[in-house]
């Protein structure tokens, strides 16, 4: 073999070896893909997703499925370049920078705890929204779950503190407290009136700027409700707040005679406020794929996600705009009866 041929052969092997090594090099990205769906009026592991005790319930038909997004990657298990490349060429998944899912200054355990609390808050907010829709009264208080290490609230607010007022404004829900904090400029102080044990006291907490410039104190809160009957939601390892709308609809369907779905296979997504407002979520494209794969023909879409969803909707899946729980119920009524307006998502 000539020296030139040997050189080319060795060079080829070197390029191949470098390519193989590079393909398995870890990269700071996360792959988002369609996750499992769960029928909120069905069962998981032979247990009802929604169980209601102490109140009459009614039979349901069809499906009201929540949808999820699965992910690969993260600080504790980074993906390799080859996995990222496969994701980039797959139209059903998304590859996003790791920091968009896991903030650089956040401990993964803190993120997991926050997701768990968000799911619990979402379930409680869903129940509250359903009861508000049915005009059934209940009680609620905002409590402290934990404070972030190194943030201003640490050592000032304590676990299980009940927040009564923020800067003199009644803490009607978690969002009211959060909005009151965000109304300050970083460096200003917030006055929390809390019940701690048997005492009521004012706690002054300075604010700082977060990574995105937002004002924060570093407190994780949870709304604790006292409902007139028990609503238990069982969804296994699903985390985050994006199933709120579908939980509310599932609760409503069980509490009211007749069927919301009319036997149709319906899926959807969206956060929910106790007052019934439906909020935007992430991963809408992957969630629509999961809905279609589960057999759904209708997909309830938060109004703020409509433009994005309309550009990526799978064939055979009808997008229905949902801005409030009440309007979502009316849309389902119109779909079932063929009477009334069914608000559609569009790209506008």
Please spell the DSSP secondary structure of 276-298, one letter per residue: -BEE--S-HHHHHHHHHHTT-SE
Which residues in the chain come in under a pLDDT of 50? 14-23
The full set of domain ranges for the chain reads: 29-126+229-337, 139-225
The whole-model pTM stands at 0.76
Other Cβ atoms closer than 10 A to 314: 15
Q: How much is the CA Rg of the chain, to the nearest whole Å?
A: 24
- 51-98 residue pLDDT tens: 999 999 999 999 999 999 887 777 667 767 777 777 677 777 777 777
| Residue 287 is among the residues annotated as catalytic for this protein | yes
Q: How far is CA 227 from CA 132, 140, 144, 233, in A?
A: 11, 8, 20, 14
- Check if the beta carbon of residue 258 is closer than 8 Å to that of residue 329: no
The pLDDT assigned to 21 comes to 45
Catalytic-labelled residue, pool 242, 248, 259, 264: 242
CATH number of the 139-225 domain: 2.30.42.10
Catalytic-labelled residue, pool 254, 287, 292, 321: 287
| Residue 242 is among the residues annotated as catalytic for this protein | yes
The domain defined by 29-126+229-337 carries CATH number 3.30.230: yes
């Amino acid at each position: 073999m000539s020296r030139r041929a040997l050189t080319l052969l060795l060079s080829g092997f070197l390029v191949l070896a470098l390519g193989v090594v590079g393909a398995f090099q870890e990269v700071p990205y996360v792959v988002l893909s369609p996750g499992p769906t769960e029928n909120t009026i069905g069962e998981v592991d032979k247990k009802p997703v929604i169980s209601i005790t102490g109140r009459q319930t009614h039979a349901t038909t069809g499906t009201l499925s929540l949808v999820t997004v699965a992910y690969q990657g993260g600080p504790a298990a980074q993906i390799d370049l080859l996995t990222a490349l496969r994701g980039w060429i797959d139209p059903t998944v998304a590859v996003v920078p790791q920091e968009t899912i896991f903030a650089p200054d956040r401990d993964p355990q803190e993120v997991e705890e926050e997701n768990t609390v968000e799911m619990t808050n979402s379930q409680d907010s869903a129940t509250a929204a359903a009861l508000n829709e049915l005009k059934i009264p209940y009680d609620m208080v905002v409590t402290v779950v934990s404070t972030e290490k190194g943030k201003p609230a640490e050592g000032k607010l304590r676990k299980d503190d009940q927040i009564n007022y923020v800067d003199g404004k009644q803490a009607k829900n978690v969002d009211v407290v959060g909005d009151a904090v965000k109304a300050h400029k970083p460096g200003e102080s917030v006055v929390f009136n809390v019940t701690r044990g048997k005492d009521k006291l004012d706690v002054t907490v300075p604010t700082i700027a977060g990574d995105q410039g937002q004002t924060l104190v570093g407190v994780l809160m949870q709304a604790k409700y006292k409902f007139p009957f028990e609503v238990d939601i069982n969804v296994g390892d699903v985390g985050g707040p994006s199933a709120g709308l579908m939980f509310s609809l599932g609760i409503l369907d069980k509490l009211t005679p007749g069927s919301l779905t009319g036997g149709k296979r319906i899926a959807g997504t969206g956060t929910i406020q106790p007052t019934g407002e439906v909020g935007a979520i992430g991963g809408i494209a992957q969630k629509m794929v999961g809905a279609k794969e589960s057999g759904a023909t209708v997909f309830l879409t938060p109004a703020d996600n409509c433009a994005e969803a309309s550009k990526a909707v799978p064939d055979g899946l009808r997008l229905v705009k949902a801005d409030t729980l009440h309007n979502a119920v009316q849309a389902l009524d119109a779909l079932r009866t063929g009477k009334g307006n069914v608000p559609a998502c569009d790209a506008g």
